Every structure is written in C-alpha cells, then in structure tokens.
Structure 1
Amino acid sequence: MKLLVVGSGGREHAIARKLLESPQVEQVFVAPGNDGMTLDGLEIVNIGISEHSALIDFAKSNDIAWTFIGPDDALAAGIVDDFNQAGLKAFGPSKLAAELEWSKDFAKEIMVKYDVPTAAYGTFTDFEEAKAYIEKQGAPIVVKADGLALGKGVVVAETVEQAVEAAREMLLDNKFGDSGARVVIEEFLDGEEFSLFALVNGDKFYILPTAQDHKRAYDGDKGPNTGGMGAYAPVPHLPQSVVDTAVETIVKPVLEGMIKEGRPYLGVLYCGLILTADGPKVIEFNARFGDPETQIILPRLTSDFAQNITDILEGKEPHMTWLDKGVTLGVVVASNGYPLAYDKGVELPAKTDGDIITYYAGAKFSENGRALLSNGGRVYMLVTTADTVKACQDKIYKELSKQNTDGLFYRHDIGSKAIKV
C-alpha cells in the first residue's frame, strides 16, 4: 500500500520512516516534507499542510490507503474532517476533538467537568483582570496563550512582574496574534514532568512508552522555551504504578468525556503530565505526536507500525510490541539563535548510518544538489538506543563532537536528570 504523511519536521520524518519499514508499504509520501527525508527513501510532495483540496486530490490520484496527520495547526484547521468528507481515511482527530489542544481553556473545562487532575486556573481576555488575578495568586505562576503558539506560548513566571509582563505581551501587545487573545493563568505545579502518549479510537486506546522532553534551549534548563531540544524514553525512574494511575485518572475519563461531548477521539493523544506529591496531573494535552518525543519512541516499536495504525483505523485490536530493555535518547541540533531569529543555509554534516539515526526537521538541498543545508530553527536530531541513559549520551555526544556544527548548537545534558535520580 501507499501512505501519505502530512507535515515537514522531525516528527513526520520519524513517522514516515517507521511506516516505510513495513513489508506491506510500497511508498511513503510526505507533504511538504523536507529534503533530508529523501535520504531515507521517502518521497516529498510540494503541497503545504493548509492546502487540503490539493492534498485530497493527491491522495485520490495516488491511491493512498490512509493519511497520517502530523502537525497541530493542520488538525485545528479541520484537515481530518475534509479528508473524511472526501471519502478518505486519515489518522488524527476531527477539528472538534483536536480542540483539546487548540484551546487550553476548552481542555481545562473538560478536565474540570470530568474530574481530571490538573492545576487550578483562571481564563482572561481582559489584561487588568488577568493582572489582578496574578497579583492575588502570587508567583511562581504559569501564563499560557489559549491557542496554538508553536510550543512557545507558555511562560513559567518566577515573579509576579514576569507574569504580568507575559500577560501584557499576549493580551495587549498581540505577541501571539489570535492565539494569545485569551490567556489561561495556572497555579505552578512542582514535580517531574513526563510525556504519555496513547493511540486512540473512541474508548479504545493503546499506551506508548513514557518519555521526557527537554524544552529549554540551553544546558541546565536555562534559556527560552523551544519546541524541544531532546528527549529519552522510557523514563527509567518512573514507576509503572504512576503510569497506571495516569491511565485511570486522566486518559480514560478524558476519552470517555469526549465521547459524551459528541467529540469522539481518533488519533494520537499526548498527555503532558507532572508527577506531584498528589500524583500525576495534566499540564497540557496535544492532539498529535510530540516533537522530539516521536523520534525516540517509534524506534522502540518492534511491531509493524503501518499494520498497527490500519488496525486502529478499522476498529481492530493492534498487535503492538516494544523493546523491553534499554533506553532510546535523542539530541536536537538547532540553528544559532533559535527559538528567536536564526540564520539558514549552514552546510550540514553527513547523515549518520548504523545505530545512530539522523532525523531531519529543517533541511534543504543546495541549488546544485550536492550539499544539505539548514532550513529551520530545529535542523536535525541524532537518536540512538543503548542499555542506559549514560551509554546513549556517550554515543550521541561522541558523534556530535566529530561533526562540524558551526552555526548550530545543541544541549549537552539531554537525559542527565535520569542519571541524577
């Protein structure tokens, strides 16, 4: 069969590469993809994620069995609804179900209604009211743009002044456009964060290995929030009992609640969780795979990913198997300046082969086609599997030390939290 993946980043590279491993899969197309993906035999299609009609026409004319939707903004724009209305299968939630991600206020309402543990909060469109709430609650406190903001619309403020400034930038200065026209202000939760993913069809769901992402740009969790600078899976010091509790108190009630709300869920549900003294609580939901967690979770899958998704789409029980030993870890290499202004056009090192995988997020061939150049904030990610976090680090950082990363940067401490525990 032929498959289509919508999106262009490292997440979509990992999804498409895993699908292509299936003996049932003849071709995997990625729209719009990036040039680095072609080094793994993937075929990129020059159609943007917002061009729903063109994507549907491509899927029909190329006999695509089903389409995997990667990015949040495509889901928020109703791409799955459009594919379904055209008689095509797509793996991802409807626009109404994806509101769990594209409106933080809606997600909070669902959690309160169905008794899902999360931080206390208030929602505001008026700056003076937001400011008064912040001053009353005190700091630390968290200020979030209600809508999608490429993973950058969250400010963990350590002082009241920082929180007020964040609210001002969103509500008055229009820093995130319509996404920040409404803000959710939450109590700060103390604990260890982790990611829990489920592949879902209605009330049936299948839990993936836990992962831990590193959002801050620089070593020691310093600097601005990014889309993610590295991750590892599973989280070795997280007891299975915590996962079981999260499934019972978070995943099940949310999915059951979405059915009751007339918004049954299909696709990937990402639960961004924090383990507090009172147990796991929700920081946020995403309606799709996380980036960079996808790149370190999918290499651990030992079953046929294409068959697994086909089964879930058809309402059948998928036979999913995973590596049961070791750890998979990945480090993102980004353009200098990211997540703010950055340059493009840096020549990239050769793609790694063997037990270190290279996933490309922002890469483009030079005009003569001889060199692969940087073409985004996050550029590529190196991923490997070993017995321990430390062994993974040793392999990845040894490889990175050999590469010419002039004009690029990466964190040197991905996974170190697991070693300190």
Structure 2
Amino acid sequence: MGQKVLVIGSGAREHAIAHALLRGGSVDEVTVAPGNPGMELDGIRTTQIDESNHAALIAFVQDNHYDWVFVGPEVPLIEGLVDDMEAAGIKAFGPSKAAAQIEGSKDFAKRLMERHGIPTARYRTFDNLDDSIAYVREHGAPIVIKADGLAAGKGVTVAMDEDTAVKALDDIFIDHRFGNAGAKVVIEDYLEGQEFSLMSFVRGTEFWPMPIAQDHKRAWDGDKGPNTGGMGAYSPVPQIGNDVIEAAINDIVRPTVEAMAAEGTPFTGILYAGLIATAQGPKVIEFNARFGDPETEVVLPRLTSDLAASISAILNGVEPQFTWVEDGATLGVVLASDGYPTDVVTGVPIPDITVDSDSHVYYAGVTNDDDGRLIASSGRVLFVETSAPDIRTAQGKVYAILDRLDVTGMFYRHDIGAKAPNA
C-alpha cells in the first residue's frame, strides 16, 4: 500500500510537485488543496479547501488518513500552517512560521546575512517615504527598491535612474500598492551579473542541493516590462560554472541553514536562494522559504529518484536519496493572460495542447466554465515544459508547441533561455 499525500496550493508549481510525487512510485494518491482542474488531467485529485483555512485542512488530513502534507506556497508557511499541522500530530514538509521569516521579511533575511557574513548587496531599511527618498538622492542610481514583506514576486524595482526609484517608493508608501508588505522598504545596492536559482531540500543543518535554474522575471521579450512572478525558466545554466555553484553552496547555503539553526529558527523544507554571479563571487538577492515558481517546473522533471520517498526520509530523520539527470536540458515557458501582471484579462478559453513524453503542461490560473471547459482565471495560466539534449533544442520544441496554438487573450515570451550560450 503506497502513501497518500496532500499538497497545499493551486499553481503550476504545485502541479509539478504533485506530478513528481506520483511519478516516483511510493505514492498511490496525491490530492491538491485547492488545486485547479487542469491538474486532474494527470490523475491528481483536488479538494476545494482554501490554503488559509488551517482547521479545515487539518480535519481533511485526519479524516482521509494522509501520510504527510507538502506545503507549496509562501503565504500558508508564513501564516504558520506547518506549526498548526504539527500541533495536530500531522507530518508536514515546510518551514515553521519563525523560519519562514527568511522570505516573509527581507529585513529579517538581510540582518541574518549581515550577522553571519553571508555575501549579499549592501542595504538600508526605512519605514517612511522622506528618509528613503533622501537616501536614494544621496546614493544615486542604479539602485534596488524592495517592499519588505510578501508581494507575490512583484515588490521589487530595479531602478536604473533616481526618478524610477522615487516612483517605486511612492507606490509603496503613498499608494500602498503592496499593503502591509510595504510598511518597510529595503533599499539595496545594484549588483551586476547573471542571476540563478539554487534550491535545496533542508533538514536543520543538513541540506541536499538541486540543479540550478534561471528564471525570467520581466513580462516581455528582451527583459522589458514590469517584474512578474516569472515568465519562464531553464535548467541547467551552462554559463554559471561549477566553481560558482560550489561557492554558493559553501559560502551561502551552508552558513544560512547553520545560522537559522543556531539562532533557534531551524529550517526544514525547501530553501530557495536567488543568487547573482558577480565579479566578487555569488551573492544573495533573496531567499524564499519554498520551491520557486517557475523554476520548480524545470528542476523537478530532472529528478530521477522517488521524490516522495526522499521527503518521507527527511521527515523521519533518515538519509534521503536524490538522483538527477546528468546531461540534457529542461526549459519551459509561461502562457499568461493579457495585461499580466497588472490589469489581468481573464475568461479566455484554454486551447488543447498536445505534447510528447518528454514534455508536460503544468496548469496554474485555470478554472472550468459552465460547460466544463478550461478557461483562464488569473495572470499566469499554464506552463509548457520540455526536456531535450540541449537548451537550443528544448527552446525549439517548446516554441513549436506554443507557436501553433490560438492564444487570443494571452501572451508569452519568445526568448526564454536566450541568455544561455549555444551549448
């Protein structure tokens, strides 16, 4: 008899997690709460329980005898869902409320890095408009403005001139565009270099790194337009050398998990390090307390071992076994609703998408219309992923799939993976 697992969340990331859990073999049943109807095409069950309703989720787990729970998104982690599950005697994979602060407050993360000498951009934190504008005028541009709290990946402005920085501060302090997330602002030095994402499975001071990926944050081709939650990703990142990855593991991930444990907030779950390869070595742009989205959708397809067996091992204090594809590349592109990330136009029908056995469609912002057909229900609609011998071949495959679809009312970037060398 295999395990039964409940995944919390509703996006393409959770679809990829659930799909990887089922693929492993030690799990018979995966349910996602609340999930989305696109997931059901893969034999994944869904249940309409909101991720913020902790009591209902706990009752559902107990009534249906799930073996353990995987918490996907940041909001329930920061709201203490793992703590509440554990208090009810349920095993849950994810950080405690205290440990999730590493994502919930950029100021918390920056102070932690400062105390422990973890390489990151110099910064100042402010809680009002006047002082922050004065600092921008004194410092000059380029400069990076970040809302302190959660802003769904959209609270960061990389300002190449002072006026853009001041407008970002107005958005935060005057227009309250990010609500409580903007009660404080972190202003950082601009770092030059290529960004990459290094995610690790973590249990206290032990961790198991995954292959790195590169995300594309801007809405439009050529890295133009507003920051989004991510428009596509690929893995590996051939222009980031193994020496840089080793430095990131030894100088960033290890001291961070050791610092969290030493300070009484030990971390269990997925630690996401958003990094930049500078001339002085890798530095931290941000930490997340969960799988990145869309990086998860290109990293988990590279996993050749049983994901559920490994997470069970971590939860039970046993050594997990992770094995990954040694060669080849995985690349994927987000199909988003027109207007994303600001004035999103929803309700357009989702075309049928045919893919081969080396490709997959992960659904995010979709729902059923009255006739049971899939329609777009939010900004990021779905993610088309493929694996191929190299990045250029993967690009060709993904865009061959997307370019033949009728995507009226939606859009996608045409240059995901373009920064990778012709490997």
What TM-score, normalized to structure 1?
0.98
- Give the match for residue 52 of structure 2: 50
How far is the alpha carbon of 1:395 from its aligned partner?
0.6
- Give the match for residue 164 of structure 2: 162
Question: 1:111 & 1:35 partners in 2: Cα distance?
Answer: 41
Question: 1:305 & 1:349 partners in 2: Cα distance?
Answer: 31
Which sits farther off after the overlay, 312-321 or 215-224?
312-321
- Give the match for residue 417 of structure 2: 415
* Stretches (4+) displaced over 6 A: none
Matched, 1:130 2:132: yes
**For residues 315-354 of structure 1, what are the structure 2 equivalents within 5 Å?**
315-354=317-356
* Paired amino acid for 2:395: Q
* Paired amino acid for 2:273: C
* Paired amino acid for 1:364: T
How far is the alpha carbon of 1:252 from its aligned partner?
0.9
Q: Secondary structure at the match of 2:67?
A: strand
- What is the aligned counterpart of 2:41 among 30, 39, 42? 39
Q: Secondary structure at the match of 1:348?
A: coil
- Give the match for residue 365 of structure 2: 362
Q: Secondary structure at the match of 1:47?
A: coil
What TM-score, normalized to structure 2?
0.98
Q: Secondary structure at the match of 2:153?
A: coil
CA displacement 1:252-279 (0-9 Å, x = unmatched): 1111111111000000000000000100
Q: Assess if the C-alpha contact under 8 Å between 2:240 and 2:277 holds in 1.
A: no
Q: Secondary structure at the match of 1:209?
A: coil
How far is the alpha carbon of 1:164 from its aligned partner?
1.3
- Give the match for residue 263 of structure 1: 265
* Paired amino acid for 2:36: N
How far is the alpha carbon of 1:367 from its aligned partner?
1.1
Please list every run of 5 or more consecutive structure 1 residues that lacks an aligned counterpart in the other structure.
none
**For residues 233-382 of structure 1, what are the structure 2 equivalents within 5 Å?**
233-354=235-356, 355-369=358-372, 371-382=373-384
Q: Secondary structure at the match of 1:253?
A: helix
Question: 2:275 & 2:156 partners in 1: Cα distance?
Answer: 15
- What is the aligned counterpart of 2:199 among 197, 200, 215? 197
- Give the match for residue 109 of structure 1: 111
* Paired amino acid for 2:58: I
CA displacement 1:103-141 (0-9 Å, x = unmatched): 000000000000000000000002111111111110000
Q: Secondary structure at the match of 1:399?
A: helix
CA displacement 1:178-220 (0-9 Å, x = unmatched): 1001000000000010000000000110000000000000000
* Paired amino acid for 1:294: T
Question: 2:349 & 2:73 partners in 1: Cα distance?
Answer: 26
Q: Assess if the C-alpha contact under 8 Å between 2:392 and 2:422 holds in 1.
A: no
Question: 2:260 & 2:330 partners in 1: Cα distance?
Answer: 32
How far is the alpha carbon of 1:420 from its aligned partner?
6.2
**For residues 136-155 of structure 1, what are the structure 2 equivalents within 5 Å?**
136-155=138-157
- Give the match for residue 65 of structure 1: 67
- Give the match for residue 190 of structure 2: 188
Please list every run of 5 or more consecutive structure 2 residues that lacks an aligned counterpart in the other structure.
none
Q: Secondary structure at the match of 2:38?
A: helix
- Percent identical among aligned pairs is 53
Aligned residues: 420
Question: 2:319 & 2:18 partners in 1: Cα distance?
Answer: 22
* Paired amino acid for 1:16: A
